[in-house]
Structure 1
Amino acid sequence: MHISVSLRIMGVLLVMFSTAMLPSLVLGLVERDGSANAFAAAFAINIFAGAALWLPTRRSRSDLRIRDGFLVTALFWIVLGVFGSLPFILSDAIHMSAIDAIFESISGLTTTGATVIVGLDDLPRSILLYRQLLQWLGGIGIIVLAVAILPMLGIGGMQLFRAESSGHAKERKLTPRVTGTAKALFSIYVGLTSLCAAAYYAAGMSGFDAICHAFSTVAIGGFSTHDASMGFFDNDKILLICTFFMVISAINFGLHFIAFQRRSLNVYNHDSETKFFSAVVVIAIVVTCSTLIVTDTLDVKEGLVHGLFQTVSIATTTGFATRDFSVWPIFLPVFLLMLSFMGGCAGSTGGGMKAMRLLLIFRQGMRELRQLLHPNAVIPLKLDARRVQPSTVSAVWSFFAVYMFCFVTFMLLMLATGLDFTSAFSAVAASMNNLGPGLGLVAPNYSAVSEIGKCLLCVAMLLGRLEVFTLLVLFTPAFWRP
């Protein structure tokens, strides 16, 4: 491994990340809300730390290897989670412990949306804007953004892109060069964010709320500027707009780029993962809305609107809320929470295990059933008219096994901190799936979780965001061997 090159990259990325604090710094100065000093200090610390890493290694020139990519990717999210917490720690407008601040920062960057803050409506707008920007940057993955500029620094970026991308999407390149791929993804991301903000504003949101909620909607993050989340606006048009953009953002961004290039929507119709994801979400919407209406929990109109919105919000791992779904009748709370294990499609900003992996597991299961009936038949597993290699299926099953092992391990650890089963189960599920809201004690927020529990959930959020293996591989002896 080239440690000096990795440190150089970390220095550059820290300096880049510091610019995320400038909009809040300017807003704090304009509105004189008392937060400007905190953002100025945090900005200076980030610049200094980045320069301290970059200066001694600035002459290092080597191509990244795959192990370097994993190391930089994992360290980047960990380091950013710590340095991103500085405005929360230093601000007098919000009193947070270091653990709470790091939890909030990592939750934002991983687009989990879990929060320990109570009283969002009373916070300075500069703090609220910063929380939303954390999610927006985390959504596209600032590593992917960095890939676009690394070649200009003399550093290859393909290893970072492979470490950051998920599953089946790792082998898809939208353009011949990885720099072009990163720029294409970022262009789609910015375009969707702009359209979402404009739609929110036209539907009745203020300009500030429209921009902030567009950030967290397209990032599939779920942070809001109000304690009541989307329920604050009490506007069905806003909920339908939000639902549309959550679905769009949960679909592979590569497909969006291809559809835009070809000026055709047939791209989506020919993609197996998108069809599988859409079918699961539609079935879940029907089940949720029907249950709400049949049990007289909500009337027909509210049942349709809120059932649709809440199902899409949880299924895509966004985590916005209009009603407290944890008190909905019979199986609905657990049913919705289980949807988050699927999450969005590969190559999207969604969390969870990704629809592609569950689709492959489902088809492999159906293939095994047919094989039992016809033991001597050769039944290949196909996806989009292409044969899926056995190594790919093996990798998917390995991911599923490790994911569930980590889930059970963290749930047991959370139970050991004193949480009840429902709270522990939902907290770990919401963290690993990058969902946010849970059940039981963590339904409203995570302030009731102990500091040890919050540290465990931070690790769970990072595991989910980094697709488990990217972080776990650092703890294998083979990774550190020459």
Structure 2
Amino acid sequence: MHYKVILRILGLLLMIFSFSMLPPIAISYSYHDSSHLAFISAFTITLCTGFIIWAPVYRVRQDLRTRDGFLVTVLFWVVLGLFGSIPFMLADNPNLSFVDAVFESLSGLTTTGATVITGIDALPQSILFYRQQLQWLGGMGIIVLAVAILPMLGIGGMQLYRAETPGPVKDSKLTPRITETAKALWYIYLSLTVACALGYWFAGMTLFDAVGHSFSTVAIGGFSTHDASIGYFDSPLIEGICTFFMIISAVNFGLHFFAWRQRSITHYFQDPEFKFYLSMLGGITVLAAVVLVTTQTYAPVESIRKAIFEVVSIATTTGFATADFAQWPVMLPFLLFVAAFAGGCAGSTGGGMKVIRILLILKQGQREIKRLIHPNAVIPVKFGNKPIPDRVLEAVWGFFSVYLIVFVVMLIILLGTGLDQVTAWSAVGATLNNLGPGLGQVAAHYGDLNETAKWVLAFAMLLGRLEVFTLLVLFSPAFWKR
């Protein structure tokens, strides 16, 4: 393990991350709120700590190994989550406790969107902007940004890319050079953010709200500058723009890259994961609309409007709201919540287990049924026209199994803290899938939970964002052996 190069990277990242405190300082001065001192203090603490870590090892020049990449990836999220909590603790409003501040910071960086804050409309503008900015930075992955920077500093980035990239296939690169791949992803991410912000602005949002919501929309985060979320604006046009960008942002960014390079969208509809993703969203939306109409929960047109928005928001793990889906009739709350377990596509900013894994599990199930009928047949599992190696299928099943085991273990722990069953299982599911809103006591916010539950759920956010194994591998004795 190259501890010196790991410390060097960590110090560099902290110094870079400290500059994320500067835009909120400018916002604070512009809107004359009192939070600028909190951000100045956070900037100073983060920058100085980063420098102290970096200075003794700044001459170290070594490439990262696979194990180094996993450790750096986890440390990035943990350390930035801790330092990102400083403004929440130091600001007069919201003036959070340590556990609440870390929970809010990690929720932003992991794009979970679960909040412990009530009275969001009364927060200073600088704090509101900072919450949205955290989600935007975490959306495409701070690691992917680091991958674009580290090679310029003499540090290889491929191990970080493999540890950070979501999905079962870790070695696919869009361009021959990993740095160029990272830059391409960030250009696409930035372009989508700008387009989304302009759309919101033209649709009637203020510039501040438009930029803030574009950050959390493209990041599939769900933080809002208002307690009522997107429902605050009560605008079909804004909801339509939001729905479009949620769908686009939960699609594999590799497809966006090829669309940009080839100036064509035909490959989208040739991708099995994309087609399954759209079919899933479409099917659940139709079912939700039918139930809302037949139960007369809303008027027919209103039922369709709310069904489309809420299904896309929850299924993509964004977590925006125009209605309280937890109060919808019959099976709809459970159905929408379960859809979030699939989440977005691999290589997107969405959470959940990823659509491609669900698709491969279904295909593997179909193969096992055929094997019962034809025991001696060789039946490959195909993704499009390409057979999937058994090693990948084994990894998918392993991921699925561990995901469910982790879910059950954390559910039992939360039940042990005194939470009711609906609150406990939905809170674990919402944080593990990086969704945000749950059911029961966590339908609106997580502020009323006990401290133990908040720490468990903060760990669940990290597990979900790092796709379980990247974090759990650090708890294996074999990882630390020479």
- Tell me the TM-score normalized by structure 2: 0.99
Residue 169 of structure 1 and its aligned partner are, at CA, apart by 4.1
Partner of residue 457, structure 1? 457
Alignment map for 1:23-422 (pairs within 5 Å):
23-422=23-422
The list of structure 1 runs, each at least 4 consecutive aligned residues, that deviate by more than 4 angstroms after superposition, is: none
Tell me the distance in 1 between the aligned counterparts of 2:15 and 2:384: 42
Q: Is residue 17 of structure 1 aligned with residue 38 of structure 2?
A: no
Is the 8 Å Cα contact of residues 168 and 396 (structure 2) preserved in structure 1?
no
SS in 1 for 2:116: coil
SS in 2 for 1:419: coil
Is the 8 Å Cα contact of residues 317 and 434 (structure 1) preserved in structure 2?
yes
What are the superposed Cα offsets for residues 38-82 of structure 1, whole Å, 9 maximum, x if unpaired?
000000001011101100110111100000000000011001110
Tell me the distance in 2 between the aligned counterparts of 1:478 and 1:378: 36
Tell me the distance in 2 between the aligned counterparts of 1:95 and 1:279: 44
Residue 448 of structure 1 and its aligned partner are, at CA, apart by 1.2
Amino acid at match of 1:383: F
Tell me the distance in 1 between the aligned counterparts of 2:325 and 2:280: 19
Partner of residue 439, structure 2? 439
Q: Which runs of 5+ in 2 are unaligned?
A: none
Q: Which runs of 5+ in 1 are unaligned?
A: none
Tell me the distance in 2 between the aligned counterparts of 1:311 and 1:347: 21
What are the superposed Cα offsets for residues 151-183 of structure 1, whole Å, 9 maximum, x if unpaired?
111100000000001233412211110000000
Tell me the distance in 2 between the aligned counterparts of 1:432 and 1:316: 14
Tell me the distance in 1 between the aligned counterparts of 2:84 and 2:51: 16
What are the superposed Cα offsets for residues 330-354 of structure 1, whole Å, 9 maximum, x if unpaired?
1110110000000000000000000
SS in 2 for 1:340: helix
Measured on the aligned residues, the alpha-carbon RMSD in Å equals 0.7
Tell me the distance in 2 between the aligned counterparts of 1:403 and 1:160: 22
Amino acid at match of 1:251: V
Amino acid at match of 2:180: G
SS in 1 for 2:192: helix
Is the 8 Å Cα contact of residues 259 and 265 (structure 1) preserved in structure 2?
yes
Amino acid at match of 2:92: D
Partner of residue 477, structure 1? 477
Aligned residues: 482
SS in 1 for 2:406: helix
What are the superposed Cα offsets for residues 294-317 of structure 1, whole Å, 9 maximum, x if unpaired?
100011111011100000000000
What are the superposed Cα offsets for residues 319-377 of structure 1, whole Å, 9 maximum, x if unpaired?
00011111110111011000000000000000000001011000000111111111121
SS in 2 for 1:338: helix
SS in 2 for 1:168: coil
Structure 1 vs Structure 2: percent identity of aligned residues? Answer: 58
SS in 2 for 1:170: coil
What are the superposed Cα offsets for residues 196-245 of structure 1, whole Å, 9 maximum, x if unpaired?
00000111111000000000000000000000000100001100110000
Tell me the distance in 1 between the aligned counterparts of 2:38 and 2:166: 36
Residue 23 of structure 1 and its aligned partner are, at CA, apart by 0.5
- Tell me the TM-score normalized by structure 1: 0.99
Is the 8 Å Cα contact of residues 168 and 395 (structure 2) preserved in structure 1?
no
Tell me the distance in 2 between the aligned counterparts of 1:479 and 1:143: 21
Tell me the distance in 1 between the aligned counterparts of 2:206 and 2:239: 15
Is the 8 Å Cα contact of residues 426 and 439 (structure 1) preserved in structure 2?
yes
Tell me the distance in 2 between the aligned counterparts of 1:467 and 1:49: 28
Is the 8 Å Cα contact of residues 166 and 348 (structure 2) preserved in structure 1?
no
SS in 2 for 1:116: coil
Is the 8 Å Cα contact of residues 169 and 347 (structure 1) preserved in structure 2?
no
What are the superposed Cα offsets for residues 266-316 of structure 1, whole Å, 9 maximum, x if unpaired?
110111111111111110101111111110001111101110000000000
